[in-house]
């Protein structure tokens, strides 16, 4: 084999691996990506039931109901809409009424969302960024300083 042939074979193998990787990435992009929506987005974009989404918003005051066997329902709202969320499992430590959360799961109907994971913040002073952006856009943002007096 000459140097040129070796180089060509190397480029060929590299091209094949890269092509496979590109194919995998493009395919996975179609299938596995999850869009973030606020309750208002779900109505505005007319998200179809059965779609997997991330839902972000504030937990509505007084809406948390604990059933038997760790079955929990609550409402997630933004300034314009609210949606009912059902979840089975342990809630994160910083899950509280009136605070921002992000839940991932499947939209069952336009009004009901079944979450399989619920994330709250890691830090007392902190609001999930997506939720903060949504509230800012809707003009209901009071700034992190108001949300938590101890700004870091």
Partner 1 sequence: MLVEAGHFALALALGLSLIQFIVPLWGARANDPVLMAVAPAGALAVLACIAFSFVALTFAYLNSDFSVLNVVQNSHSAKPLIYKISGVWGNHEGSMLLWVLILALFGGVVALARDSVPMRLQANTLAVQAAITIAFLLFILTTSNPFTRVLPAPMEGQDLNPLLQDPGLAIHPPLLYIGYVGFSISFAFACAALIDGRIDAVWARIVRPWTLGAWAFLTLGIAMGSYWAYYELGWGGWWFWDPVENASLMPWLAGTALVHSTVVMEKRDALKVWTILLAILTFSLSLLGTFLVRSGVLTSVHSFAVDPERGTFILGILILFIGGSLTLFAWRAPMLKQGGLFAPVSREGALVLNNLFLATACATVFIGTLYPLALEVLTGEKISVGAPFFNFTFLPLIVPLLLLLPLGQTLAWKRGNFLGTAQRLYAVFGVAILASLAMLAFQHGGPVAAPLGIGLGIYLVLGSLNEIVTRSWSRGTPLSVAWRKARGLPRSTWGAAIAHAGVGLTVIGIAATAWGVETIGSVRPGERLSAGDYEVRLERVIPRVEANYRDDVAILTVFGSGRELGTIETMKRLYVTRGMPTTEAGIMTVGLGQVYASIGEVQADGSIGMRLYYKPLVLLIWIGSLVMAAGGGLSLTDRRLRIAAPARAKAVPPSAVPAE
- Residue by residue, DSSP assigns 40-106 as HHHHHTTPPTT-EEEEEEEEPTT--EE-STTEEEEEEE-SS-EEEEEEESPPPTT--TTSEEEEEEE
Q: Which is nearer to partner 1, 64 or 79 (CB)?
A: 64
Return the biggest CA–CA distance within the chain: 77
Determine the interface stretch with partner 1 among 78-86, 105-113, 123-131 (rule: CB under 8 A). Answer: 123-131
Binding residues for partner 1, total number by CB under 8 A = 44
Distance CA 102, CA 121 (A): 9
Q: What track of x and - describes contact with partner 1 for positions 77 through 116 (by CB under 8 A)?
A: -----------xxxx-xx---------x------------
- Summarize as ranges the residues that interact with partner 1 (CB under 8 A): 1, 3, 6, 9-10, 13-14, 17-18, 20-21, 24-25, 27-29, 31-36, 54, 66, 68-70, 88-91, 93-94, 104, 122-124, 126, 128-130, 133, 150, 152
């Amino acid at each position: 084999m000459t140097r040129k042939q070796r180089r060509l074979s190397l480029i060929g193998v590299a091209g094949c691996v890269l092509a496979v990787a590109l194919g995998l990435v493009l395919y996975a992009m179609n299938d596995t990506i999850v869009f973030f929506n606020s309750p208002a987005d779900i109505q505005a974009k007319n998200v179809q039931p059965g779609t997997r989404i991330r839902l972000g918003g504030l937990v509505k005051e007084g809406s948390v109901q604990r059933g038997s066997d760790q079955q929990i329902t609550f409402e997630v709202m933004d300034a314009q809409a609210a949606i009912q969320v059902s979840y089975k499992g342990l809630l994160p430590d910083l899950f509280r009424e009136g605070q921002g959360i992000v839940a991932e799961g499947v939209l069952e109907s336009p009004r009901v969302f079944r979450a399989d994971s619920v994330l709250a913040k890691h830090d007392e002073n902190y609001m999930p960024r997506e939720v903060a952006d949504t509230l800012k856009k809707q003009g209901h943002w009071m700034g992190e300083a108001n949300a938590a007096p101890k700004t870091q």
